[in-house]
Amino acid sequence: MGDVKKKFLLLGDGAVGKTSLVRRFVTDKFDDRYITTIGAKVTKKDIQFKVGDQPTRFSMMLWDVLGQQGYSNIQKASFKGADGALLVCDVTRAQTLDSLKTYWLPQFKEVAGDVPMIFLANKADIEDREIDPQALFNLSGEHNANFFFTSAKNGLNVNLAFYKLAFYVLKRMDTQAEVDGAGTEKSMTFEEKSAYTATEVADMIMTDFCATDDVMGIDGTMEILVPQFDRAGVDVKRPTKEGLMRVVQNLSEMEIMIKDPSDVEERKAVRMSWVEKIVE
């Protein structure tokens, strides 16, 4: 089979431990500092499989997707072309399991279609739990998926979960013809409104910036996008009108180096028009 490269998503609410799980799997290290991922952070991990008699290098492109709800446009953009997903909840917060059911799963399946999934109940090293194993069993059964209790802190089941997902994807490749780009490609459109929340506009700016670059792709544009939010001092959990104005200006300064000035000014004007409609 040779070399295989596949896209895997980590989905779930903020602070469930997605970034820490990736760090534990990729570097075998744990860091309990909470990092808010803007859009999606992409990390690569190469693992070795033997398919039949042929050794296979499996490159896992791990997309740690923004866990803040309300950013559905940029999240859906990240879902396109996914080959599998780890859906993560926090055993100490029952609402994070509810979010998988009501927010993450419907949006993910709408875009990515029927791809392998595994449910993870993270922070299993903590004894004070709110999530009943039966609830996890029921949810995973509804979607014909496995579930594991994991801990990024001590490594419990972390490697097993990632390797298991890779195995399911390889098995799927072996039993059916691959379809290029899981799910249906959809152009990103935004609802025209007379007023927006700051979160809605932040989501629209992120998605618009990524969608208008036809060279680097969403993972490449994220490398440009994230520093501009940081530079503007914008917290994605609490974006402000003033901060988003700075983001729009920062992005136009980046785009002017690689795009036609008239196109840059047009996109800047559109993004600023959204910001001006923010009601705080």
Residues 208 and 161 in one domain: no
Chosen domain end from 116, 142, 175: 175
Shared domain check, 253 and 125: no
223 or 122: which leads in pLDDT? 122
Per residue in 189-203, pLDDT tens?
788 999 999 999 999
Q: Is the pLDDT of residue 35 over 80?
A: no
Residues facing 117 on adjacent strands: 85
Report the C-alpha gap between 49 and 219 in whole angstroms: 26
Residues 171 and 243 placed together within one structural domain of the fold: no
* One domain, residues 114 and 210: no
Are residues 158 and 219 both part of a single domain?
no
What is the side-by-side strand order in the sheet with 117-122?
Answer: 40-51, 54-65, 2-11, 84-90, 117-122, 146-149
Domain that holds residue 22: 2-175
Question: For residue 142, what is the domain's CATH number?
Answer: 3.40.50.300
CA distance 271 to 280: 17
The more confidently predicted of residues 174 and 264 is 264
User: What is the pLDDT at residue 184?
Assistant: 39
Q: What angle do CA 222, 228, 229 make, to 5 degrees?
A: 90
**Domain tally for the chain?**
2
% of residues, the chain, pLDDT over 70: 90
Sign of the Cα torsion 108, 17, 222, 60 reads: negative
Residue closest to 234 by CA, chosen among 265, 256, 196, 205: 205
Banded pLDDT at 51 (limits 50, 70, 90): low
Kindly state whether residues 43 and 95 are assigned to the same domain: yes
Phi, psi of 106, rounded to the nearest 5 degrees: -60, -45
Residue whose token pair is 């792709």: 217
This prediction's pTM: 0.84
Rg of the chain (C-alpha set): 19
CB 160: neighbour CB atoms within 10 A?
14
Least Cα distance to 122 among 35, 18, 28 occurs for 18
What's the pLDDT band for 43 if we cut at 50, 70, 90?
very high
pLDDT tens per residue across span 75-123: 999 999 999 999 999 999 999 999 999 999 999 999 999 999 999 999 9
Phi and psi dihedrals of 20, rounded to 5? -70, -35
**Does residue 78 sit within a domain?**
yes
Q: Please check whether residues 143 and 217 belong to one and the same domain.
A: no
